[in-house]
Structure 1
Amino acid sequence: MARLSCDFRYFLIPAAFLFIYIQMRLFATQSEYADRMAEAVDAEHHCTSQMRLHIDQISMQQEQIVALKEGKKRKDQECAQLKALVNDLEEKTLQRIIDKTQVPVAAVVIMACNRADYLERTIASVLKHQNSVASKYPLFISQDGSEPNVKDKALSYLNQLTYMQHIDYDPVQAERPGELIAYYKIARHYKWALDELFFKHNFDRVIILEDDMEIAPDFFDYFEAASALLDKDKSIMAVSSWNDNGQKQFVYDPYALYRSDFFPGLGWMLTKSTWNELSPKLKDNHKGRQFIRPEVCRTYNFGEHGSSMGQFFQSYLEPIKMNDIKVDWKSQDLSYLLEDKYVKHFADLLRMAKPVRGTDLALLTSTIDGDVRIQYNDQSDFENIARQFEVFEEWKDGVPRTAYKGVVIFRYHPPKRVFLVGPDSLQQLGIENA
C-alpha cells in the first residue's frame, strides 16, 4: 500500500505541471481574446464614428440641396417676375410709341450685346431720321445677355423705343471644327428677336440693324418703297440696304437698285410670311429667290471691333459710301425690279456693254468709254479679275458677292459700269450672239 501511494505522488507532479501549462494557455487565450475584443470594440467605435460623420455629411448635403432648391425656386420666381415686368414694359412702351391710327410699315430692331458706345452711336443715327416717321417704324433694342452698360443705355431711351432682353445659358456646339461659337449665339439671338417681333407683337415686316451701323437720310423712305415690292413679288426674299462693292470708287447712282442672288445683310427687311418658313430650322434656304440691294449703301458699318474681329474692315467697310442725299422714293417707279421685268431690264444693260478681253483688264477698261463686260471662266478666274479691280473676291455657296445670274456689277471710273460675266450668265439672261 505504501508503495502504491508513493507511485501515485509521482503522477501528481506531471499533472500539476500540465495543469499549470493549461492554465497559462488558457490565460494567454483569454488575453488574446480580450485584445481582439478590445480591437473589435475600437473598430466598432470607429465605424460608429465614421457612420455618424457620413450621416452628418449627408445631412449637410441634403440641407445644401434643399437650400439650392429653395434658391433656384426664388431665382425662378424672380426671373418670372422680371419677365413679366419686361413684358409689361414692352406693352406700355409700345402703346405709348405706336400711333393706333397708323399701320406700321415695319418694326426696326437694333441687335445689341456688349458694346454700349457703339449702341449709343447707332441709336443716335436711327432716331435722327426715325423721329418724323416713328409711328411707321417703331424702334426696338434687343440685347443678347445682361451687360449692364448696354441695358442702361437702351433703357435711357425708353420714351422712344422698346427694350427686349435675350438670356440664353444653353451650351453651344459648333457643327464644324474651327467655327466661331459667337456666330451660333448670334443666330440664336436673331431667331428669338424675330420670333418675338413677328409672332408676339405681330408685325408684318421687320428691319434688322446691328449695333454698329449708321443710316442714310432716305433709309426709311427706301424701305417703304421696297416694301411694296416684297408684298407683290414673292421671288424677293428680302430687301437690303447694303452693297458689298459699295466703296466710294465703285458707286455713282443713288437711285440705282439691283436684284442679287447673294444675301447682302447689314440692314435688311423681311416679311412675316418668309420668317414663317425660315424660323423652324433657321436655315438659309433661298429656293431660287433673290434680294434687292442698292448701288449706294443706305447704311454704314463702323464696327471695327466685334464678333468678326474687324475682318475686311479697313479694306472693304471703312471706304463704304453711304448715301447722303434725300431721294424721293415715292416718285420712283420700281416695277423694273419685279422678276418678270428685271431679266429683260438687266439683259438690255449687259447687251449694250462692250466686251473686253486681255491680260491687264483694269487698264484696258479705263481706256474705254461706256459700259464694259468681262467674261470669267470659273471661280479662280473671277478671283484673279476681281483682284485687278480690287472688288470683293469672295464666293459663298457658289455665288460671288453681289452677283445676279453670275454677273457682278460695279462702277469703274464712274459713271462707267463693269459687268463681270459668268460662263453661262448670257445664256441665263437670254442673250445670244453677244
Structure 2
Amino acid sequence: MFRKKGTLIICGTFLLITWNAILLLLLWGRPPSKPGQDQREVATRPTNNVLGDVLEIAKTFEAELEMQKKILLEIQNHKSLWKQTNRERPKVVVPTQPVIPILVIACNRVTVRRCLDKLLQFRPSAELYPIIVSQDCGHAETAEVIRSYGNQVTHLQQPDLSAIAVKPQHKKFQGYYKISRHYHWALNQVFKNLSHSSVVIVEDDLEVAPDFFEYFRSLLPLLKSDPTLWCASAWNDNGRDGFVDPAKANLLYRSDFFPGLGWMLLKELWEELEPKWPAAFWDDWMREPEQRRNRACIRPEISRTLTFGRQGVSLGQFYDKYLRYIKLNTEFVPFTKLDLSYLKEETYIKDLEKEVYGAPVVTYEDITGGQLNGPGPFRLQYSSKDSFKLLARNLAIMDDFKSGVPRTGYRGVVSFFSRGRRIYLAPPPGWTQYDTTWS
C-alpha cells in the first residue's frame, strides 16, 4: 500500500512540474485582453503594452500558484504519512561482527546434553554463534535430546546411515569410516548449504570453558590474515593439571601438531581439503605433511575444552592415562582485547629460539631430583626418537608422534610445566625439519 502511495506522489510531482513549464510558455505568448474576454483565454500575438501584459501575467500566476500550493500541501501530507509508517516498521538487525557457527558432531550419546548446556550457558550471542548439531547414527534417544532444545539449536541429520564397504582387516574400524563420512557431509552443510565462512567443530563429548567463544573470536582475524596458520584449537594435549602454568591462562602457542578437540577452520581450507577428504582416520590424515604443508595451529596453555567421553570408537585410548586429567580453564580471559601479534610466524620463531636455546640445558635427573636453580625456563635436549620417548614417558607427557611431529610440538620443541617450572623438551640447535619415520 505504501509503495503505491510513493509512486502516486512521484507521478503527481512530475505532472506538476510539466504543467508549470507548459503554462509558462503559453503565458508569454498571450495577447492583450479585451472587455468581457476571459483572463485565461489563449491568444496568438502579444500587444505593445508591455507593462499591462506583465501585470496580467502576474495575476494569472498568482491564481495558478494558489492552486498549486493546495496540491503541494496534499502531496506533503501523503509523504509525511508514508515516511512515518516506514519508521514504524521493525528494523532488520544485521550483525556487525563475523558470524562463527559452532558445529556439534553427534551420534548416539544422550550426554550431548552436557555439551549443549555448556555451549548455551556461555554463548554471548545467538546471532553471532549459531549452534548446529549434526547427528549421525539415527539414534532416537539422542535425537529427542537434541530436539528438546527447540530453536536454540539447528538439528541436522546425516541421511546416509548405510554400512561402508571396507577391507576385511579394517572391519573393526567401520566406525572411523562412518565418522569421516559424517564430517564430510556436515562440513558441506555448513559451508555450502548454509554459506558460512568459518566454523568451530565440537564433538558431542566436549565441555567448553567460560571464555571458549571469546578465544575463537580473537583468533579469527589472525587465522584469516596469516597464511602460515591453518587452524585454531582449544586443546592442549599435555594440558593436565600440574603440567600447565596456572598463572598463564592467557598464553597461546603455535603448534605443528593438529590437536582437534574443539577447533576452527575457514571455508577456504575446507575447499582445499574437501576434494581429497579421506575415507577414514581423518584426524591423522590432517597431520600428514601433504595436508599440513608446514602450516601451524594455535593452541592454548590451558585447554578451553574437556572431554568426558571415555566410550567411543577409540575405546578409551589415552583417556584413563591422560585425557580425563586435562585441566579446563575457569578464568575468563578477554582475548579480543589482547595483543596477539606475538603469534605471527616471524616474531614467534625469533622469540622461541631466543628463549629455548638461551635457556640452560638440564638433565632428567636435575628435573626429578630437585636440582634446578632459579625459576626457569630450562631446556631438556633430545637427539633421537628413542631419547624423546624415554624422556617423555619418564616425565609423564605424551610420547607419540604423528608423521614425525610430537604432540604440541613446534619446530620440534614441546613446552610443558614440571614441578612449577617451565621445561622445553627440544632438539639440538639448528633444527630444520621433522623426520616422518618417527611415528
- Shorter chain as normaliser: what TM range? 0.7 to 0.9
State the percentage of identical aligned residues: 39
Q: Distance in 2 between matches of 1:164 and 1:343?
A: 42
Picking from 174, 179, 183, the partner of 1:190 is 183
Task: Say yes or no: does 1:422 pair with 2:414.
Answer: no
Picking from 99, 105, 112, the partner of 2:106 is 112
Give the match for residue 19 of structure 1. Answer: none
Alignment of 1:49-68 (within 5 A): none
Give the match for residue 154 of structure 1. Answer: 146
Per-residue deviation, 1:240: 0.1
Give the match for residue 177 of structure 1. Answer: 169
- 1:327–1:176 Cα change, 3 Å: farther
Task: Say yes or no: does 1:274 pair with 2:280.
Answer: no
Task: Say yes or no: does 1:367 pair with 2:372.
Answer: yes
Give the match for residue 241 of structure 1. Answer: 234
Task: Say yes or no: does 1:389 pair with 2:381.
Answer: no
Give the match for residue 101 of structure 1. Answer: 95
CA contact (8 A) 2:223 2:229 kept: yes
Q: Distance in 1 between matches of 2:361 and 2:169?
A: 44
Unaligned regions of 5+ residues in structure 1, if any?
A: 1-97, 429-434
Q: Distance in 2 between matches of 1:105 and 1:114?
A: 28
Q: Distance in 2 between matches of 1:425 and 1:403?
A: 16
Q: Distance in 2 between matches of 1:365 and 1:203?
A: 52
Matched position secondary structure for 2:169: coil
Picking from 310, 313, 324, the partner of 1:318 is 324
CA contact (8 A) 2:138 2:161 kept: no
Picking from 344, 348, 356, the partner of 1:350 is 356
Moved more, 171-180 or 259-268: 171-180
Task: Say yes or no: does 1:133 pair with 2:133.
Answer: no
Picking from 202, 218, 221, the partner of 1:228 is 221
Partner AA of 2:142 in structure 1: V
CA contact (8 A) 1:102 1:135 kept: no
Moved more, 271-280 or 309-318: 309-318
Deviation sequence 1:22-73 (CA, Å, 0-9, x none): xxxxxxxxxxxxxxxxxxxxxxxxxxxxxxxxxxxxxxxxxxxxxxxxxxxx
Per-residue deviation, 1:102: 4.5
- 1:221–1:123 Cα change, 3 Å: same
Per-residue deviation, 1:365: 6.2
CA contact (8 A) 2:198 2:265 kept: yes
Matched position secondary structure for 2:232: strand
Q: Distance in 1 between matches of 2:394 and 2:168?
A: 33
- 1:188–1:343 Cα change, 3 Å: same
Q: Which has the higher helix share?
A: 1
Q: Distance in 2 between matches of 1:278 and 1:188?
A: 14
Give the match for residue 309 of structure 2. Answer: 303
CA contact (8 A) 2:137 2:161 kept: no
Q: Distance in 2 between matches of 1:174 and 1:261?
A: 31
Give the match for residue 419 of structure 2. Answer: 413
Per-residue deviation, 1:177: 3.2
Q: Distance in 2 between matches of 1:424 and 1:389?
A: 22
CA contact (8 A) 1:139 1:160 kept: yes
Give the match for residue 122 of structure 1. Answer: 115
Partner AA of 2:301 in structure 1: E
Per-residue deviation, 1:194: 0.6
Partner AA of 1:153 in structure 2: V
Q: Distance in 2 between matches of 1:417 and 1:177?
A: 44
Q: Distance in 1 between matches of 2:430 and 2:325?
A: 29
TM normalised by structure 2 equals 0.71
Give the match for residue 250 of structure 2. Answer: 255
Give the match for residue 10 of structure 1. Answer: none
CA contact (8 A) 2:98 2:128 kept: yes
- 1:426–1:101 Cα change, 3 Å: closer
Of structures 1 and 2, the larger Rg is shown by: 1
Deviation sequence 1:70-92 (CA, Å, 0-9, x none): xxxxxxxxxxxxxxxxxxxxxxx
Per-residue deviation, 1:199: 0.9
- 1:373–1:142 Cα change, 3 Å: same
Unaligned regions of 5+ residues in structure 2, if any?
A: 1-91, 279-285, 434-439
Matched position secondary structure for 2:222: helix
Deviation sequence 1:397-427 (CA, Å, 0-9, x none): 111111001111101122x211111246556
TM normalised by structure 1 equals 0.72
Equivalent pairs, count: 328
Partner AA of 1:262 in structure 2: F
Per-residue deviation, 1:323: 0.6
Q: Distance in 2 between matches of 1:133 and 1:330?
A: 15
